[in-house]
Structure 1
Amino acid sequence: MTYGIGVVGVGVWGCHSLEHMLLKCGDARVVAVSTDESLGAHCFPEPVAERGSAYAKELKAEFRADWREVVADPRVHIVSAMACPTQKAQVILAALRAGKHVVTDKPLAFTVEEARAVCDAETASTGRGFMLAGYHRRPLVARLIEVARVGRLGQIKAVSMRLCFMGGVYPGFVPTTQWRAEVPSAELTTIGSHALVTLMRLLPELPVRVNAMVRNCFYESYRAVGAEDWAELNLQYGSGAVANVTVARLPHKVPGEDILLEVTGTDGYADITGTRLSVYPGPEVVDLAVDGAAVNDETFKAFYRAIETGAAAPTTFAEGQKLQALLDAALQSARTRTVAAVGAV
């Protein structure tokens, strides 16, 4: 079948217009578009409705002033929810209650309570949800996760991860107080979501405690609106495992670095550095450059398969709910400068 896509939110900072990946990777067309000022700080200078109407025209779709009309349109099968975190839950909830499938960026919502409501709505819906987040589908990371899953490392005792976005502030982005108010945090959320979702595939249980520190190391424009560009987390698990995660937006580039990952278990050790995965005992060495475009393509094809077969989405809304609990505890820890308990989901 040809899937009809409805887009809610155009040019909202932090959103990646996932409808384009849906168009590229499946039999689909955009049938309706909506955006307005309430959906988040936008990245273009012209009036929001004017830009939204022009975007709809580019996609040969209809423009609707009220996003609820997009969700209610019977021609829409998949909603691309590209609203800011403070507004996202209401869009996703309306879509799921209308029986639509939903794709969205991380995070799933603004609060733990909203994320829980989204998951409850998905359980009751015929629609499926997919949150784009995590590096677990990158081939080297996927291989490491599989090595751990089949027990080659024994019981995981320690994970160390460094994930940095490089080359400075995203081109054209000017941090504003509106943007900052619409997101739970800055790079702890933007980059940290990818790191924490990846960590969940290695240690699926939620940690019991988190100790987090956020800093502004590089950008005055971030500092001016109270946004961090660096975060460090120490996570402690009921199993006795510990994880240390560092995320940052660097002004420079480190050649060959994608994600740095070390996993130590009772029976073995594995690490990813640059384009190489090493596993001991073995030894097993895999050298493979990252093809980001191919990973993204396969991720969205997997979402279509999830719709059609009932398989799990590449990153589920249930994982989004767990992520929200982790982010909430990390923010509490950073604000109070104390260790915070991670709430149940």
Structure 2
Amino acid sequence: MTPTNSRRPLGVAMIGYAFMGKAHSNAWRNVASYFDVPLFEQKVLVGRNAAGVKEAAAKYGWAETATDWRTVLERDDIHIVDICAPGWMHAEIATAALEAGKHVLLEKPLANTLAEAEAMTAAAVTARAKGVQSMVGFNYRRVPALALARDLIAEGRVGTVRQVRAAYLQDWLADETAPMTWRLTKETAGSGALGDIASHAIDQVLFLLGDKVTEVSGRTHTFTTRRPGASGLEDVTVDDAAWATLSLASGAIASVEASRVATGRKNSLQLEIYGDKGSILFDLENLNELRFLDATAPAREQGYRRILVSEPEHPYLDAWWPQGHIIGWEHTFTHEIRDFLLAVDGGTEPSPSFEDGLEVQRILNAIEESGATKSSTIHLEDSTAATAGTASATPVTVPEGA
């Protein structure tokens, strides 16, 4: 592996070119225009459909294409592998890339099963000892308003946190005639709203509070059990919605809700943090705003005030536009790539790590276990991998470019 302090550009390969591949490509194209980062080159875009990946590479700025990710890992000019493939492929590709000495950026969630996540984390720890870095792409950690919220909480501005409410609500499956996709079968997606978006909500609870979950109770539900597919009506084998109560080591309690059938909600990650000295409110559909209440002020002056997070003093914002000019969802990936490149170049551990991803996976597994067994509470140290499957990936068929 080329030393990261070399002046030779870091060669980047990205695997997957659909939704997340497009978002990540936009970040790779733009990050050096706004942030001081080490030199890199968008070397190779990988996808199974030769024509499809070639077209995507031309749009997204990649120099070459490949249809077999294994051959890309053999190349000496590839130093970073960005994995945007579906979850069922994460374990095999990430482990192989780490073993090949490639730095790995991996889309969330870490894996489809707890067993896979544990094996991947072990591989990441081994690779890190050799200077090979890895990171999970929980991009909402890079929303400036949420990074600011974390700072305010750490500074004690809300006091002791007692209660957190986290709800990630979408409605793209509210219509029962919406067609089947790979995201609706357990074999390919692992879970539904639980892994897809509840993972973001859970990661935010951990990120904002710097805390640890000790107990979990949860429930999942599938409202539409069959949807139209290539073979007629096909069985939906993952959840449409999930609910959980999380007990934290600090004594705080967090409620988490996720749904892909919440009619009228497009992409609403709502976070409410209540402490004994103040509280914070956030909604991803207004991602440049934070609501803050200072409960130490005189009662006649109390009330939520709107913070427009667009000043150069706010996290990440000094690289962008004049104050008051807002940024968008896509910028979170640019911030993510920036932080990852700086960690790789500096030989430091990027965050969130695979260990962080594993913690989220354990919580997801406990929610699923609690719902399946009708258990009121799962103690994480007692949670089994009964619903987690095995660490070996079983080949499955997924649409091209997924």
AA of the residue aligned to 1:269: S
Q: Report the counterpart of residue 227 of structure 2 in structure 1.
A: 221
Report the CA distance between 1:57 and its aligned residue: 6.4
C-alpha spacing 1:218/1:233, structure 2 compared with 1 (3 Å): same
Q: Decide which moves more: 266-275 or 334-343.
A: 266-275
Q: Report the counterpart of residue 333 of structure 1 in structure 2.
A: 370
Structure-1 separation of matches of 2:55 and 2:10: 22
User: Superposed, which structure 2 residues align to 1:23-34 within 5 Å?
Assistant: 23-26=29-32, 27-34=39-46
Q: 2:181 aligns with which of 175, 178, 184?
A: 175
Report the CA distance between 1:331 and its aligned residue: 1.2
CA deviation vs aligned residue, 1:49-104 (integer Å, no higher than 9, x gap): 54345545665644444322111211111112233323211211111122211122
Report the CA distance between 1:234 and its aligned residue: 0.6
Q: Report the counterpart of residue 160 of structure 2 in structure 1.
A: 155
AA of the residue aligned to 2:380: V
C-alpha spacing 1:287/1:199, structure 2 compared with 1 (3 Å): same
CA deviation vs aligned residue, 1:298-341 (integer Å, no higher than 9, x gap): 22222222222245535322211111111111111121121222
Q: Is the 8 A contact 1:262 1:269 kept in 2?
A: yes
AA of the residue aligned to 2:236: V
% same residue: 22
CA deviation vs aligned residue, 1:225-248 (integer Å, no higher than 9, x gap): 123222111111243221001111
Give the length in aligned residue pairs: 331
2:322 is the alignment partner of 1:320:
no
AA of the residue aligned to 1:91: I
Report the CA distance between 1:15 and its aligned residue: 6.2
Structure-2 separation of matches of 1:237 and 1:102: 30
Q: Report the counterpart of residue 83 of structure 1 in structure 2.
A: 85
Report the CA distance between 1:200 and its aligned residue: 0.6
Q: Report the counterpart of residue 273 of structure 2 in structure 1.
A: 263
2:341 is the alignment partner of 1:304:
yes
Greater radius of gyration (CA): 2
Report the CA distance between 1:185 and its aligned residue: 0.5
Structure-1 separation of matches of 2:155 and 2:102: 36
Report the CA distance between 1:144 and its aligned residue: 1.9
Structure-2 separation of matches of 1:250 and 1:66: 36
Which TM-score applies when normalising by structure 2?
0.71
C-alpha spacing 1:253/1:139, structure 2 compared with 1 (3 Å): farther
User: Superposed, which structure 2 residues align to 1:43-192 within 5 Å?
Assistant: 48-52=49-53, 54-55=55-56, 61-125=63-127, 126-166=131-171, 168=173, 174-176=180-182, 179-192=185-198
Which TM-score applies when normalising by structure 1?
0.82
Tell me which stretches of 4 or more aligned residues in structure 1 moved more than 6 Å.
none
Q: Report the counterpart of residue 318 of structure 2 in structure 1.
A: none
C-alpha spacing 1:344/1:24, structure 2 compared with 1 (3 Å): farther
RMSD over aligned CA atoms reads 3.3
2:304 is the alignment partner of 1:293:
no
Secondary structure, aligned partner of 1:113: helix
C-alpha spacing 1:225/1:99, structure 2 compared with 1 (3 Å): same
Q: Report the counterpart of residue 24 of structure 2 in structure 1.
A: 18
Unaligned runs of 5+ in 1: 37-47
Q: Is the 8 A contact 2:242 2:257 kept in 1?
A: yes
2:282 is the alignment partner of 1:272:
yes
Q: Decide which moves more: 145-154 or 335-344.
A: 335-344
Structure-1 separation of matches of 2:133 and 2:366: 27
Q: Is the 8 A contact 1:218 1:251 kept in 2?
A: no
Report the CA distance between 1:214 and its aligned residue: 1.5
Secondary structure, aligned partner of 2:219: strand
C-alpha spacing 1:178/1:215, structure 2 compared with 1 (3 Å): closer
C-alpha spacing 1:74/1:161, structure 2 compared with 1 (3 Å): same
Q: Is the 8 A contact 1:185 1:227 kept in 2?
A: yes
Q: Is the 8 A contact 1:272 1:278 kept in 2?
A: no
Structure-2 separation of matches of 1:333 and 1:91: 30
Report the CA distance between 1:218 and its aligned residue: 6.6
CA deviation vs aligned residue, 1:2-27 (integer Å, no higher than 9, x gap): 3312233444x876663442233245
AA of the residue aligned to 1:264: Y
Q: 1:245 aligns with which of 212, 236, 256?
A: 256
Structure-2 separation of matches of 1:189 and 1:15: 19
Structure-1 separation of matches of 2:133 and 2:183: 34
Q: Which has the higher relative contact order, 1 or 2, with Cα contacts under 8 A spaced 6 or more apart?
A: 2
Q: 1:342 aligns with which of 358, 380, 392?
A: 380
Secondary structure, aligned partner of 1:306: helix
Q: Is the 8 A contact 2:185 2:238 kept in 1?
A: no
Q: Decide which moves more: 53-62 or 89-98.
A: 53-62
Q: Decide which moves more: 93-102 or 313-322.
A: 313-322
Structure-1 separation of matches of 2:78 and 2:54: 18
Structure-1 separation of matches of 2:332 and 2:380: 31
Structure-2 separation of matches of 1:93 and 1:169: 36
2:202 is the alignment partner of 1:196:
yes
Structure-2 separation of matches of 1:177 and 1:106: 14
User: Superposed, which structure 2 residues align to 1:205-220 within 5 Å?
Assistant: 205-217=211-223
Q: Is the 8 A contact 1:56 1:62 kept in 2?
A: yes
Report the CA distance between 1:193 and its aligned residue: 1.2
Q: Is the 8 A contact 1:95 1:101 kept in 2?
A: yes
